[in-house]
Every structure is written in C-alpha cells, then in structure tokens.
Structure 1
Amino acid sequence: MRGYQERQGEDRDVTARDHLAIGLLVMAVVTGLGGVWPADPLSPTQWWFVVSGIDLVLCGALLALPVHQRSTQAVVIAGVVVSAVLVSTCYSAQGVVVFALGFVVAGQFAAYALERRRAAVVAGVVVAAIALSATFAPAAVHPVIVVASAAMALLSCWLMAEQTDRLRRQARTDHLTGALSRGAFYERAGDVVPGALRRGTPLSVVAFDVDDFTVVNARHGHLGADDLLADLAAAWRRMLPPAAFLGRVGGDEFVAVLPGTGEADARRWARSATSGRVLSSSAGVATLRPDDTVRSLLDRADVDLFAAKDARRALAGNV
C-alpha cells in the first residue's frame, strides 16, 4: 500500500512515554525543592532528596525500557508508591494535600495514556495511596479531605478515560464508511500480522478498489457517490468473518484482513464481496508467508488487485 506507515501504535506509546518522562523530571525537581525549602521544620528532608533521586532514576529507566504500555504502567505505579511513602512522613496537612493533587494527575495521565484495564489498576493504586499515606502521616488530615481527594481522583480519571476513548474512537473510525481509518487500520494490522506469524496460523488480506470511481462521481455527484461508497463498505463489513476487520486506506481503496483464512477461502469471500453490488469493484488477494512483513503482504495484494483490474478492462474490450 502506498505511503504505508508501520509504527502508528508505537508512535502513540512513544509520545506517552515522553510526556511521562517530562512529568517525572518535574516531580524530581519539585520534590528536591521540598527538601531544600521544607514546609515544616520537623520534615525529614533527607527523604525528599531520596524520592527526588528515585524519580530521576524512574525517568531514566522509562527512557531505557522498551516502549510498551506495561513499562509505562509500571513506572507510573512505582512513582505513586514512592510518593505515597514520602507523604506518610509529612508533618503538615498542606503537604499531604499537594501530593494528593499530584496523585490525581498521575491517575489522569494513566487514563489518557493507557488502555482502560491498565488505567483502572493505576486509579486503584492512586486511591489507595491517597488513603493510606494520609492515614499514616504525622499531619492531622481531616477524613473529609481524604474522601474528597479520593473521589476527585476517581471522577477525574473516569472523565479523562471517557473523553480519551471518545476521541480515539473518532480518530480510529472513518466517518463516512464506518471502516477503520488509515492509521487505525495499519496499527491493528501491525499487531495481527506478526501474531499470526508467531502462531503459524493462516491469514489473508483482500484489497478492494471501486472501478471507475471518477465516472461514479461524475454520474451521481460527490454526495451521491459518497452514499454509494458508504453502502458498499457497510455491506463488506456485514460480510466480515469473526476477528476480521476492514480499513479505508484511500479515497475508494479498502483492505480487509481475514485472520484464520487461507487463500482459497479469501478468494471466495472476495468474489462474494464484489459481486451483485451497485458499485462495481475489483479485489486483490494475498496470503501470509513465513517471510512476510505487513508491507510485503499488502504490496502483494496491491499487485493482485491491479492484475484483476487489468483483466476486467481486457474483458470489457478497453485494452
């Protein structure tokens, strides 16, 4: 496929990692300042410097570890736990409250950067950190403040997760056809194809292209052609077998990925998908080989698609 980008999902995780690294660096500086300029003369400042150093170590470890949601989640949880230990030494209520706000920010980051399941684990750790650190701290913290902080953490994390999910769904779905958007398609294919290679299970892709779409636009107008294209994509989506998915990778170009499907079954499915439709379309099929990458697999489907289009034109007497 033209202009293919293989690392869409990893790019997103790299961005989240960089944001977290900046956050840890800021926390290290702020915590270090808390040791230099303590809010209470009884405060054990040596622990502030220790936690500041740990935040710096976590920042370095995060940048050194492979980019993955597991490592991001682990670093967030470690940062929250270490900060909770520090809060338990606070002699002033204001220190407890300030760190509680920091815990809330950590939960919000998890809701923004991590999958729901991982974000929920971090939210649970955040609530536990707020409650336990305030309970064991020498400072007198009113229970209402603890409950309010925990409730604020849960509510803000939930709102952030809901908004992030909504924006991601919008970004992942083509608004006209309901198929996966180009970036979301390549991200999912980048997960599914290597998985099939590891397991040694069959997988095929079917590349679709509407025949003479410029003529369709001229005949029906752009809005009418869009309606026909949406109906065609909806029909393809209804036909998809379990675990299969469809992506729109160009104006009238679509690709279906069929996990667990060999070449013969994929070609039968492609013939069924392209026959008896209002819009005429051609299809190209490629089946996963042991030495394939996502790109080579899609390139072979492209070649097969162009061969099918040439054969259609030859049959129609146009070449």
Structure 2
Amino acid sequence: MTTRPEPRDAWTDPGLGAIMSERRKLINLAYRMLGSLADAEDVVQETYARWYAMSAAQQEAIASPGGWLRTVASRICLDLLGSARARRENYVGEWLPEPVPDQGEWGAGPALGATSDPADRVTLDESINMAFLVVLESMTPAERVAFVLHDVFRYTFPEVAEIVGRTPVACRQLATSARRRIRAARPTATPAARRAALVRDFKLAWEAKDIEALIELLDPDATGLSDGGGLVNAAPRTVGGEQIARWLITVMGLAPDLTLLERRVNGEPGLVIQQAGTTRTVVAFDFAGDRIKQLWAVRNPEKLRPWTTP
C-alpha cells in the first residue's frame, strides 16, 4: 500500500474536516468487503493517499468528495478480494474473518491506534455478524462487492456498475445470486434472547466440564472451526455436537486456568477466553432453532488486537 502523504492543516483547509469525516464510512465499507480490520485500514490509507496525491484543482473539480472516496475504496477492495483468495489458499489452517468487539468494549489495544479513535470503529449491525461474513467469504469478489454496496450501503445498481465494471443488469444478477447464498445459509432465525441464553448456558456447561449439557446445547450436526493462522495451535475442523463437546472438555482439562467471559462478538453473543489476563481466543456462534449450529474460534493473535488491553 502507498504511504499516505502528510495531510494539510485542518485550520487552513476547511474542506479537510469533511474529507476526514468519511473515515468511519470507509472503514465500515472495507471491513464488510474484506472481513479484515487490518486490510480495511490499509484500504482507507490508500484511498486517502490517492486523494492527497491530486492537486487542489483536481480535488475541487470533484462534485462529491465523499462519493469519490467510497468509489475508490470499493475498487481497491475489489482488487484485494482477488488477491486475498490466493493468499488464503496459502493460509495455515482455516481462515476466519477478524472479530470485532462492541464499541463499549473496544479494546485500547494497538490495532486501531492507542487513541481508539471513534472514526476507526466498525458500526455493528446484522450485516457484520460472523455468520454473515463467513457467507460473504463464499462469494465471488464481484458478488460480494455488488451485494455489500447495494443491499448494505444502498447504492443504486448504476452506481455499483460503475465500480464493478459491469452493466447494471449484471450487477443486479450478482446481488440476487449473493442474496440466495445468504438465505440458503441461514434459513431460520433464532430470537435474540434465546441466542444470549444459549451462549450463557454453553459457558456455564463448559466451565463445569458438563459434557452432557454441552451435547444438549449443540446441534448434532454442529461444526467447529478454529483459526490460529499458523501462529498458535488451532484444532482441526470438528463436525458433530458430541465430538465438539468432547474437544471442549479436553481443552478445559489441558488449560484449567482459562477464564470465559460473555462478550458481544460482531454484535452477537459470544465468548472471550483469557489466560492470565490475556485474551487468547474469541468465539463467535451461529444458531439453528434452540441449539448452537456453528462455533468459530479465532486464535490468531494478529486478529485479536482490538481485544487486547495494553
């Protein structure tokens, strides 16, 4: 990524405030596109670098600077998505999206700057939960970009077409295909209160090493995925509620000093697992009816920076 040039002083450039106010929107856009805070930050930096590389006359000729920034960021994301697929083929183990905490719990760790600038935070809604991001990973780059821009950020299809480089009709088809993937992956919804209760009961059963209770909470066909990125140990893909329950009991037996904390992960009930006060794992869940259907355990320390206190 290009290093961002030193911006002009906001006191002498009244338009700078408006330009920089787009930062939160760009972070939110890029994170949904890429599933990685680190990559989203790089995209935003590159976007601003391109803005400041233009002359003042070129900048003044742009009718909507915010629209220009979002268009450029979207195109950078589209390019990155193609290369990301190649990178993830060489990734050690399972690749999972980078989890983010609720704003009230946003760690003061180094990931997004020691100041924890609110402009760097991801706005959490249903388009950001882990299940949604995992489905987005199954889409082609064009499908993902078209769907996120149209269905999440409400771009018109002609606007999407300009970014993706296809016709509006083609972009509509891409978004429709993406929507089918979303519906197929999540045919039913579990009420919010029930999701929170399931995670709470899961935590208590795991702490008590109650394998029967864990099996009861897990769907018989549940799947567990763990992302260590080759930097820490990560369990292989585990399928089956009983198999997952036995693995969880084994983990607790090997590391009895673990502390389990209920936290919201990407806007949904989840768990943070700490050891000696340090966050080691963030667990996100998906549900089917009254049971847990998916567990995603992110252990790669590079993806846990927002959860790490100084």
Say which structure, 1 or 2, has more relative contact order (CA 8 Å, 6+ apart). Answer: 2
User: What TM-score do you get using the length of structure 2 for normalisation?
Assistant: 0.27
Please identify which structure carries the higher strand content: 2
Looking at secondary structure, tell me which structure has more helix per residue. 1
Whose radius of gyration is greater, 1 or 2? Answer: 1
TM-score after normalising by structure 1: 0.26
